[in-house]
Amino acid sequence: MSAERIIELERLLEESDAERLGLLEAVHDTLHLQHMAEVAGNSSDPALLLRSFVQAMGRVVPWTAAEVRLRESVADRKLTRTALHEGFGQELESEIRELDEEGVLGWALETNRPTLLPSLGDSRSCGWLVVPLMVQGADIGFALLRPVATAGQLTAHHLEMVRLIATQTAVALDNIAHIDEIRHGYGELRSLHRVAASLGRSLDLEDR
């Protein structure tokens, strides 16, 4: 067998291995996404849902620190509510404050897609991954991850899987919020009914 033929066979084998590994990665990601959807569908606890959310993202993009911020209302442009905060030391806290004050986080959110940001303190570090939580074209919050991998190691595939996981989570959070609103409204209606019934009984007694 000629040397050229051997080289060609080696190349084909390498391509075959790469395709097989790519297929396995896609299968694993699909299973993680399915698990995330099941958790989202069964959960009525935002804290449990967010914990599953960052764990699912960590399977796609391993991280050392994670934060999730949610809007208190549509008018809450600063995303003041920190719903999950894990793995941050003083140095990372300082860097996040600087990113926030410089408007970098706000800019990343306006892209409406997962966005990689460089580290302000050390150009050799992995930086940050901002993942908006989108529902019907509007963000209800975002996740901020400190990836283990460098920016060059994160591919479009990784970012798309993270986006899909975030979309599942955002829809589930929105559903939980609507359920809470319905429960609150039902409670108010029951209170009004009791007041009206009591008032009606009082009027009946007065007429007698």
The answer to whether 160 touches 139, Cβ cutoff 8 Å, is no
Q: What is the DSSP string of 68-88?
A: EEE-SSTT-TT--EEEEEES-
Q: Give per-residue pLDDT as tens, 21-56.
A: 665 665 666 666 566 656 655 666 788 888 888 988
H or E element, residue 64: strand 63-70
Q: Are strands 138-147 and 63-70 parallel, antiparallel or unpaired?
A: antiparallel
Spacing of C-alpha 49 from chain mean position: 10
Q: How confident is the model at residue 185 (pLDDT cuts 50, 70, 90)?
A: very low
Q: How confident is the model at residue 175 (pLDDT cuts 50, 70, 90)?
A: confident
H or E element, residue 23: helix 3-42
Q: What pLDDT was estimated at residue 51?
A: 87
- The pTM (predicted TM-score) of the whole model is 0.68
Q: How far, CA to CA in Å, does 9 sit from each of 3, 5, 19?
A: 10, 6, 15
Q: Give per-residue pLDDT as tens, 90-136.
A: 888 888 888 888 888 889 989 999 999 987 766 666 789 999 999 88
**CA atoms of 67 and 83, how far apart (whole Å):** 8
Q: What pLDDT was estimated at residue 123?
A: 62
Q: Give per-residue pLDDT as tens, 57-86.
A: 888 889 999 999 998 766 666 676 788 999
